[in-house]
Amino acid sequence: MQKRMLGKDNLEVSALGLGCMGLSFGYGPATDKQDAIRLIRRAYELGITFFDTAEAYGPFANEELLGEALSPFRSEVVIATKFGFKEGKTALGLDSRPATIRAMAEASLKRLRTDVIDLFYQHRVDPNVPIEEVAGTVKELIREGKVKHFGLSEAGVQTIRKAHAIQPVTALQSEYSLWWREPEQEILPTLEELGIGLVPFSPLGKGFLTGKINEDTKFDDKDFRNIVPRFSEENRKANQALVDLLGKIAKQKEASSAQIALAWLLAQKPWIVPIPGTTKLHRLEENVGSADIKLSADELKEINEVMAKVKVQGARYPEQMQKMVGR
């Protein structure tokens, strides 16, 4: 698989990464541990060198899983993890105090079975801690050799600029896909100006852009999508038009809808590295295939024109979670 560079410090990663959250958290029961290890190692065999986790995924279980799965070839991969929730639990709220960041870094290093974290993101901006203090703390961890690169997740433009002035931000991880294009307004121009990479999570719209979800789909009781307005039965029905259009384009290219959605993202900027997640080996292989699909300027224009005809219905987060993004 081709490589891409994130940030001015040139963090080299595979053009596609693997978002590992769903193996332990968020989308129903955790995947069987051995099956999850098999999938992570298969991703490496297919050329993926960029793996994304967080202490909050579990909490802690996902980091431990990744640490074990990647240990045979740790030096050949890039591991990104995140800090910023009290005790690693999203329900307890945010905590990015310097002492907490340090404690989280030490704990993550042990769980990941490594002596350095390649990319350390603040999971969500903490309004109670100046971003300059957060960036300064990570800068110290970089100086001490415990972290290589600093990242932010779902941060707003002003926060990105303030943080970057203290410690260069290598990457911003935020949602970006054919059904969430708001980052194009302010975020992408800012990242381009500052030389910061973008790591889109949910590049397949939390599964919706694959075409495998419709108004009749029933999610597991523990599935996060049950509380996402965009995934209400009514909104799924309304948003089906977008998936149908994507499916037609995919058919023309003899590809899957998921592959076209990922290829579209890869075509936007050379410093964009999507991190689709999956629990299924055949979906992993399908996603990896998107890196070989080249969309022409005319095809990209057609996709944009077709997609512009559909207005996506429903917020991407419940109201309480929406307050934590874009700060």
Q: How far apart are CA 153 and CA 198, in angstroms?
A: 10
Q: How far apart are CA 99 and CA 279, in angstroms?
A: 35
Considering the candidates 57, 121, 176, 317, report the single residue annotated as catalytic.
57
H helices, E strands: number in the chain: 11, 9
- Per-residue tokens: 289: 């295939």
Alpha helices in 208-271 (DSSP H): 233-252, 257-268
> β-strands 3-6, 117-122: how paired?
unpaired
| Amino acid in the structure at residue 180 | W
- Per-residue tokens: 232: 């209400």
57 is catalytic: yes
Is the Cβ–Cβ distance between 141 and 147 less than 8 Å? yes
Q: How far apart are CA 207 and CA 154, in angstroms?
A: 20
What b-and-e string marks burial along 143-166, b requiring 16 or more CB atoms within 10 Å of the CB?
eeebbbbbbbbbbbeebbeebbeb
| Amino acid in the structure at residue 227 | I
- In sequence order, the 6+-apart residues with CB closer than 8 A to the CB of 273 are 4, 6, 13, 14, 15, 16, 17, 50, 171, 197, 198, 199, 200
SS3 content of the chain, % helix, strand, coil (to 5): 50, 15, 35
Dihedral sign from CA coordinates of 265, 22, 314, 251: positive
Question: Which residues have a catalytic role annotated?
Answer: 57
